Structures are given as structure tokens and as C-alpha cells.
Structure 1
Amino acid sequence: SLTLVLYEQLSAQIVQDLVQSRWYLLGALVAVVVVCFVYILLLRWVVAPVVWASIAGLLAVLGFSVYLCYKNYVYFKENPVQLVQTTNLKGYAQSVFSKHQTWLAILIAVALVLLILLIIVIFLRAVYDIKSTIFFPMFPWVLQCAVIAYGILVLMLLMSIGESAFSVVNMIVNLLGFFWMMFFISGVSDMMLASTFSTWYWTFKKKDLPFFTLTSGIFRTIRFHLGTVAFGALIIAIVRVIRVILEYIDHKIKKFDNPFTRCIMCFCKCFCWCLENFLKFINKNAYIMCAVHGKSFLEDCERNDGSPEKPYFMSKNLMNILGKKNKQA
């Protein structure tokens, strides 16, 4: 076929270009080997400056790449190029990189890499000591994907029943269960990581850090704190269900176009949104305190509420930065 012939011509062109540029490729390979050798020697003598300079340089290159990809994406989207079919390798590359979709895909990929590297750099020290935490977020993500798939399946089954009081009640109950499971998985992962990093933080000599630090955090969470996480997740799930119901009511009453009802609904939705975010903040801090101290959910919520009587914990360095002092008893 014509497509097969075009691909054969393109393959032949690639081989021909590689043969013609073999000496340039060989020179580049030698240069890379020399640079790597020099880099290794520098790491042998000045580790910290070289490592941090490399990280800063990589982040700078990725940041500039994101900017460049965005500029090209905008340019080719506003100025589409008429593509000409060709078997020339250079022309084929130009046709590919003249599409704004190509630059959008590269932009997303580079931005994700930059974001991941930034997160790793921020938590570099703890993650360096506990390397398994890099891959840990994959497991909650897989579990949440499974819950989403199950929720979609249940939703399809409920929709097949038809509209009735029974189906509406089942919809609300299953919606509550769906949100409860999602927040429960997220809370369990937060608790496990909090338990792991609290062990790292309170280990004075990092070389004495247990080998199975993450495993120990997972075990402690499953053994002692699942009820705590379930209770906190249930609170947020109930508020989320209320928000969904309000959104449904708002969708139904839009046809009346009543300013008073719009104002009331806007107030209710805003209140529930603020309440949910406040509870998420309280929950996450309660999970952390629970992982550190091993107390119950409500006790950890009461331990530090930010009031003058129960202020949040501040290290001495943070107090010096903020100009705060502990009050004398």
C-alpha cells in the first residue's frame, strides 16, 4: 500500500542520515563521555555544590522548556501551518513539530516532570532517607481508581432501575459510600506517610533509621488508626454529599430564575464549601497528630486548635522568624 511505501522510504532516509552523520554522532558520544567523567570527578571532591547546581540547572532547563513549549503551542495554534506530505526526514520532523497538538503534549509532559522534581526536591532529605516513599503514592492512586470504577458501575446499575424513591435513596447512600471510601483511602495514605515521616523526624541519628520505616508506618496505621481515619473521612463525606445535593437542587430550580432562591443557594453552597475545606484542614492535622502521639481523633483535634490557650506547635527557628515567644506560666 501507499502508506507502507512511505514508511519504507522514511526508514531508508533515516538510515541514510545516520550513515552520513556517523562521525558527528561519534564525536558527540566522546564529548558526553568526557563530560560525564569530569562530572564524576567533581562529585568526588565537591559533592554538595555540584549536586545542588545540577538540580538548579535541571529545574531551570525544564522551566525554560515549559515556557518555550507554551510559546510554540500558542504560536502554531494561532498560525496553523499547511502540512505537506513528504518522505524527507527533516520535512517529516517539521510537519510533526508544526502541529500545536505536538507542543501541547510536550508541554504537559515537561510540566509534569518539573512538578514531580519540585516535589522531590522539597522533600528531598526525608525522601532520600526513606526512598520507598517515592513510589508509595501509586498504591492509593490505584485504590482510588478502583473505587471510581466501582462507583461508575453502581451508578449505571442504579440508573437502569429508573426514577423512583428507592433509586434516589440508593443513589444517596451509594454516593455517601463512594465519597467515604475516597476520603478514607486519602486519609489512610496521609496517616501512613505522617507516621513514617514522624519516625524519621524523631530519629536523632538518621543512620539509625529502621530499614522498614514505611512498612512500620503502614502497620501502625492499619493496626491502630483505621477507625480514626474512617471517622474523619465520614465527616467530610457527609458534607460532600450535602454539597452534591445542593448542586442538584440548584440545577433543578434554575428554571424559576428567582433572585432570592439564587442568593440562598449561593450562600448554602459557599457555606458548605468553606465547611468542607475547614474540616479537611482539621482532619489532616488530626491525622498527623494522631500518627505522632497515637491518640484518638477527637483528642488530637482538641490538642492544638490554634487558640492562645492551645497554640499550634512552632519550632524555635520558626518562632525567631515570626518574632514569637512562649508565654511564661
Structure 2
Amino acid sequence: MAVKTHDPKEYGDPLVYDPDFHGPLKYRSCTDVLCLLLFLVFIGCWTGIGLYAFLKGNPNVLLVPKDSQGARCGLDSHVLDKPYLFFFDLTKCLQPIPFTGCKTNQVCVRKCPDRAFLYDAATTDINSLICEAGVNPSRYDAQRLVSEGKCAKWYLSSEPVQKRCLPNIFTPHELSRLKNAGENVTGEILDNAKAAISSYVNWEEVGENIVNDIMYSWKHILVGLVLSLVVCIIYIVLMRWIAGVMVWISIVGVLAVMSFGVYFCVKKYQYYKANPVYHQSSVWYETILEKTGTWLAFTIVLSIILLIIFLLLIFLRKRIVLSIALIKEASRAVGAVTASLFFPIFPWAIQVCVIAYAISVALYLSSVGTSEFVVQNLDGNCVCTGNAKDYHTNSPCDPNIFATSCFNVIDRKPCTYARCQFVKMDSSNVITYLHIFNVFGFFWALFFVSGLADMILASTFATWYWTFRKKDVPFFTVTQSMLRTLRFHLGTIAFGSLIIAICTMIRVMLEYIDSKLKKYENPFTKAVLCCCKCFFWCLEKFIKFINRNAYIMCAIHGKNFCFSAKDAFNLLMRNIIRVFVLDKVTDFLLFLSKILVTAGVTSVAYVVFVTDYVHIVDQSSLNYNYAPVIIIGISAFFVTLVFFSVFTMAVDTLFLCFLEDSERNDGSPDKPYFMSKNLMQILGKKNK
């Protein structure tokens, strides 16, 4: 059976010589206007949703602690001056109720107690009593209120932890007093109770500590970002003159960094295997890093990545020379239009604003609605009468009615364990739809800004390529490209970004469905969802590839999205071998350059913040030494993405221009090639 071979003519005839074509068209018409109008209407609606959320919502209600009556400490009118949550009997917090504390009375207080207290009817000052909301004890009824559980019988000196009052240091003398008074309280019980409450605020505390570390070391982090910026600029400038050397430095550097990482992980694994650590560190990440399994996993992952990169370089060694020529061509283009190097900072700043806006809208929307309370832990010892007679566990309730109508059967005191607790904000289904709209708006706006930057850069580099005498490239090329794109092609960008946003939204919905169905453990459902997620992931990558090339063709020829995508796809398919030989290998080499720059800056940060080789930073003032290192590393990678995105766009644009140049021209005096002499020499072409 004969195997069908690839026939370039299946994807249209090669482009023919056009004496009037000299690069991006100056006279063109607006494209995809309807999609632009749709995008503007969408942005208007998204803005309206944001205004509604900001006016109706208050994200603080989701974060502040709440007392037993559902009052939000520091926010609700009657506890506006009481921002801290106090627990009557901390020993009952060993089995806490999520997000609401534990099975004991909780009240909002102005400040956490700064001394130990044990009720004594003969000597206690009633001003030392901490009681439920609305209870004002006097010396005549203090003992009754304490016995009924409406006032705390004892407490220890505390400090606020995420606005919850938790004992800081308890002395043997204080515990002895409680024990002598008949209170079954030990240091171990209090430690466990503190841990039970802290487990729900631990990550908030971690976040707060990280923020404190950032505030303390923000100047050093800023220096790290500036260092990343300088290294990127130096790297790109050097690429202009010694592209081949810099590419090989990137290859060798990445291999060296990965090899050292494997060696470092092996040494750590051997050390902790020989010296196992049995104690639990007070710092959560140190506990993880002290396990042999952690370093074994790091060793395996790094070894696999190193092996993959090494094998790719072996198989692509003959293609690297061609890719270096294309990278050098891109370096010349970036060097000739210096403004293009710094242009991505502006769309990057806009994308940051889009992310901040979407997150803010999501937080405010989550707080829109009314508070929902349900009955918790209602047992036979607690009965409800009057308006609360129909209450049962998990039924909706009113805190005020519960407080007046529910009591213990034996002593008719307030219920010991049963509570009417706040559980969530009750909002209509409309809020859910607004959340979906916000997520979709986030994707569409983000991809729109990215597409706008791509088309402006594509127009810039296409202008450079199709200028036969490179010294005649206009000085304000970036500005002209920006004005041309904003005037004629916002609709095309809206169309392309809409397609990607829809595909991404489908993937997000599949992930959500998968998370909801995990509890059923159905192999068939898992397989179907896995196939769907894989399909849409591949589809999203393909669409992004088509979009990028469609933007380039639109920037050059001024056609709408569909025609531009068709022309780009046909051009690439007619030269499919060159696509894999040049374009994809070049992307891989630029990726190695990003990794090298990021690894270099992160290594410097590691030496400064973690090791003792330099003493620039007072490491004792940091909660987590690795926090600034990780932030600098992530920031450095994004800085490289911003700057190297110019290179990536230059490579993709010049590659398409090169393919079109090869089809339109043949090197004769009437139809000369526009490509550089170096590129013509590498590809065996020349102008006659």
C-alpha cells in the first residue's frame, strides 16, 4: 500500500512576485469590525459588573473572625471597636468547627488579655471578666454569670494571631492555679488547643510572614529585578554581535546548572539519609526540606530534565547552526529598532492591571449577599422553644432567636455545644453567572493585550525585513506600527483572543468538573475527562500558534483574521520542513537562554539571602529566607519573558517574512531577496 507523501500544492500555490509589494501595506481598511464592537460591549458589561461588585461587596466579611452570635469582629455595628476574637474555654478547641473556632463561647474583644485570670468571688474585679455580648455583670450576679457560662471563668495572657486571641507563654504557676481550682488544664492540652485553632489560620499566618519578609527586603528584591533587567539587556546586546557564542554559552550554561542541581540534590539526599531528622521544625518548609524523599524526588526530576535536554541537543546539533543565523537576524532587527526592546513593558503593565482588576472583582463578588447561619451540634441536651422549636442540626437559624429560645434541658442555661453559626454568604445564582463572566473577561482581556503587543511587534519587524536598505528603516517604526494596529486591526485581535479565551474557558470548566467528580472514583468518567482535557489543551496550543502567525500576516497584508490565518497556515504547510528545522529549534534555544538568565539571578539571590558567604542582608530578621529568593526567581523569569518575547516575536515574524521572500523572489536583479547576506549564505541562496 503506497504511503501518501506531503504535497505543498495542497495548501495553495506559492506566492508570486509583486513589484508593488514593499512590506506592510500603508493603505488598508479596518478588519473584523463586528468583533471589535462585541469586545467593546463586553468590556462595558465587565466594567458594570466591577462597579456593582465594588458597591455591593465587602471582602473583609470573608476574612474577619466572627463570634458565637455571627457578629463580624471589628465590622458589625455593635462590635466595631472589638476586632479580636476571644475563646472562653480553649480546651474545648481540640475538635474545632471549620472557620468558626471551636465548641466554646466566642466573643469579640477590644484587646486580647495581657495577664492570666481565674475567677474568685471574693477577690475578682468584675472589670476583669470577659462575657458574652450584651451581658453586663455586676458584683451581685458575677458568680451566677460565670457558673452559667456567660462569662469566662479563666483565661491566660494572650496575643492576637490573625485576630484570634491565643495564649503566648503559660507558666507552671498559672497552670497550677487552674489545676488547684479544679480546672483540668495542662500545658499539653493548651498546646493542642492552640494547634487546633492555628491549623485554620496557619496559611494566613504564612502569607502574612511572607508579606512581612517582602516589606523588609523589598529594596533587595528591587535590586534583584534591576539585576534581571540589566542581565537581559546585556545578553540581548551581546546577541547582536556574537549570537553564536551566546547561544552556545546558554546551552553549556544550562547543562552546567542542571548538572550542579543534580549533584547538590544527591549530596543533600546522602546527608539526610545518614543524618535523619526526627524533630519537627518550627518552619514548615524546613520540615519538608529535611526529608530524604524530598531530595530524592528533586534528584529524579532534575535528572530526567537534564537527560531530555541533552538528547534534544544531540538530535538537533545540525539544526542549531541554522537557528543561530535566524537568531542573529532577529538580533539585528531588535538592535536596529531599539524601542521594540522596551515596548513590552507597557502591555505587561496593562496585563498586571487586568489581573488585579479580575481578582478584585472576584473577591468583591464573593462577599455580595446575606449572611447564612445554620444550627451546629444540636443534641438532646439542648432544646429550642417558641420561634426556634423547629430548629435541628444544619437547619437555617437566626442568631438572636437561637440565643433567646434555645437552652440546656437540665439547668436551662445556654446550650453547651449547640450554636447558631455563620457558614457562608448566601447569594443568588446571578452572582455565580457574574463570576463566570468575570473569569471569561479575564481571559479575553489578557489575551487581547497579548495579541495587541504581538501585532505591533510583528508590524515593526516586518517593516525592518522588507526594507531593502536596512539603514532606511523609519526611526519611529514602533510608533507607526502601534498607530496602524490601533486604527485598523483591533477587531482582528479581538477575534483571535476570543477564540483562545473560549478554548481556555472550556479547559477551566473541565478542570472544575473533574474536581467535583473526583469523590466518585469512576474510571470511565476519569478517562473521558482526561481525553477531553488533553484534546482541548492541544487545541489551545494549536490555536495560539495559528493566532500568532495570523497576527503577523495581518500586520503585513492588512487582511481580516480568517484570511490571515488561512494564508499563514498555507505558507507554513508549504514549508513544513523548514518550520521544524528553523522556527521550533530557535524557540528551544531562546528558552534555554531564559532559563540561564533566571538561574543566574536566582543563584545570586540564594547566596545573598540563604548562605553566609555575603552579609548584605540581616537574615535573622526574615521569617523565611527562601521567600525573597523565590520571589526574585519568579520575577526574573517574568522579566526574561517580557524581554525575550521581543526576540521570539522577531524570530516568528522574520521566519514568515523569510518564507514569503523565498517564494516571491529568486535572487535575480528584478526580484532580489530581502534577507541578509548571512542568512542567504547559510541557506545557499544569493542575489545575482
- Same fold by TM-score greater than 0.5: yes
Q: Distance in 1 between matches of 2:243 and 2:436?
A: 52
Aligned to 1:37: none
Aligned to 1:123: 330
Residue 249 (1) aligns with residue 456 (2): no
Aligned to 1:216: 480
Aligned to 1:132: 339
Query: Are residues 289 and 307 of structure 1, via their aligned partners in 2, closer, same or farther at CA, if it must alter by over 3 Å?
Result: closer
Aligned pair partner of 1:144 in 334, 351, 365: 351
Preserved CA contact (<8 Å) 2:510 2:533: yes
Preserved CA contact (<8 Å) 1:236 1:280: yes
What letter corresponds to residue 74 of structure 1 in structure 2?
A: C
Q: Distance in 2 between matches of 1:130 and 1:64?
A: 32
Query: Are residues 252 and 213 of structure 1, via their aligned partners in 2, closer, same or farther at CA, if it must alter by over 3 Å?
Result: same
Q: Distance in 1 between matches of 2:546 and 2:478?
A: 24
Query: Are residues 225 and 209 of structure 1, via their aligned partners in 2, closer, same or farther at CA, if it must alter by over 3 Å?
Result: same
Aligned to 1:228: 492
Deviation of the 1:63 alpha carbon: 4.8
Q: Distance in 2 between matches of 1:280 and 1:80?
A: 46
What letter corresponds to residue 432 of structure 2 in structure 1?
A: V
CA displacement, residues 30-72 of structure 1 (integer Å, 9 cap, x when unaligned): xxxxxxxxxxxxxxxxxx9x95687478657855763575367
Aligned to 2:459: 195
What letter corresponds to residue 206 of structure 1 in structure 2?
A: K
Residue 74 (1) aligns with residue 265 (2): yes
Aligned pair partner of 1:298 in 562, 566, 574: 562
Preserved CA contact (<8 Å) 1:192 1:217: yes
CA displacement, residues 116-137 of structure 1 (integer Å, 9 cap, x when unaligned): xx99867311111111111122
Secondary structure in 1 matching 2:570: coil
Higher relative contact order (CA 8 A, sep 6+): 2
Aligned to 2:151: none
Q: Distance in 2 between matches of 1:66 and 1:164?
A: 53
Alignment of 1:15-94 (within 5 A): 51=242, 55=246, 59=250, 62-63=253-254, 66=257, 70=261, 73-74=264-265, 77-78=268-269
Q: Distance in 1 between matches of 2:251 and 2:529?
A: 46
What letter corresponds to residue 447 of structure 2 in structure 1?
A: F
Aligned to 2:442: 178
Q: Distance in 1 between matches of 2:249 and 2:542?
A: 37
Deviation of the 1:221 alpha carbon: 0.9
Q: Distance in 2 between matches of 1:121 and 1:66?
A: 25
CA RMSD of the aligned region, Å? 3.6
Preserved CA contact (<8 Å) 2:546 2:568: no
Preserved CA contact (<8 Å) 1:120 1:127: no
Secondary structure in 2 matching 1:204: coil
Query: Are residues 276 and 67 of structure 1, via their aligned partners in 2, closer, same or farther at CA, if it must alter by over 3 Å?
Result: closer
What letter corresponds to residue 257 of structure 2 in structure 1?
A: V
Q: Distance in 1 between matches of 2:362 and 2:443?
A: 13
After TM superposition, the score normalised by the length of structure 2 is 0.31
Query: Are residues 199 and 71 of structure 1, via their aligned partners in 2, closer, same or farther at CA, if it must alter by over 3 Å?
Result: same
Query: Are residues 226 and 181 of structure 1, via their aligned partners in 2, closer, same or farther at CA, if it must alter by over 3 Å?
Result: same
Of residues 294-303 and 180-189 in structure 1, the stretch that sits farther from structure 2 once superposed is: 294-303
Aligned to 1:274: 538
Preserved CA contact (<8 Å) 1:193 1:217: yes
Query: Are residues 62 and 136 of structure 1, via their aligned partners in 2, closer, same or farther at CA, if it must alter by over 3 Å?
Result: farther
Aligned to 1:153: 360
Query: Are residues 276 and 68 of structure 1, via their aligned partners in 2, closer, same or farther at CA, if it must alter by over 3 Å?
Result: closer
Query: Are residues 120 and 132 of structure 1, via their aligned partners in 2, closer, same or farther at CA, if it must alter by over 3 Å?
Result: farther
Secondary structure in 2 matching 1:306: helix
Q: Distance in 1 between matches of 2:564 and 2:574?
A: 13
Q: Distance in 2 between matches of 1:274 and 1:71?
A: 31
Q: Distance in 2 between matches of 1:60 and 1:299?
A: 39
What letter corresponds to residue 457 of structure 2 in structure 1?
A: L
Deviation of the 1:237 alpha carbon: 0.6
Q: Distance in 1 between matches of 2:444 and 2:244?
A: 45
Q: Distance in 2 between matches of 1:274 and 1:60?
A: 28
Aligned to 1:45: none
Structure with the larger strand share: 2
* Unaligned ranges ≥5, structure 2: 1-238, 273-294, 296-323, 369-424, 576-655, 667-679, 684-688
Preserved CA contact (<8 Å) 1:176 1:237: yes
What letter corresponds to residue 134 of structure 1 in structure 2?
A: L
Aligned to 2:202: none
Preserved CA contact (<8 Å) 2:571 2:660: no
After TM superposition, the score normalised by the length of structure 1 is 0.62
Q: Distance in 1 between matches of 2:251 and 2:504?
A: 40
Q: Distance in 1 between matches of 2:488 and 2:661?
A: 31
Q: Distance in 2 between matches of 1:230 and 1:139?
A: 19
Preserved CA contact (<8 Å) 2:452 2:493: yes
Preserved CA contact (<8 Å) 1:172 1:241: no
Q: Distance in 2 between matches of 1:60 and 1:284?
A: 27
Between structure 1 and structure 2, the one with the greater Rg is 2
Q: Distance in 2 between matches of 1:202 and 1:182?
A: 30
Q: Distance in 1 between matches of 2:501 and 2:329?
A: 30
Q: Distance in 2 between matches of 1:266 and 1:68?
A: 34
Residue 258 (1) aligns with residue 465 (2): no
Deviation of the 1:311 alpha carbon: 3.8
Aligned residues: 239
* Unaligned ranges ≥5, structure 1: 1-47, 82-99, 101-117, 324-329
Aligned to 2:138: none
What letter corresponds to residue 536 of structure 2 in structure 1?
A: C
Q: Distance in 2 between matches of 1:60 and 1:261?
A: 43
Preserved CA contact (<8 Å) 2:447 2:501: yes
Deviation of the 1:139 alpha carbon: 1.6
Aligned to 1:327: none
Identity across matched positions, percent: 46
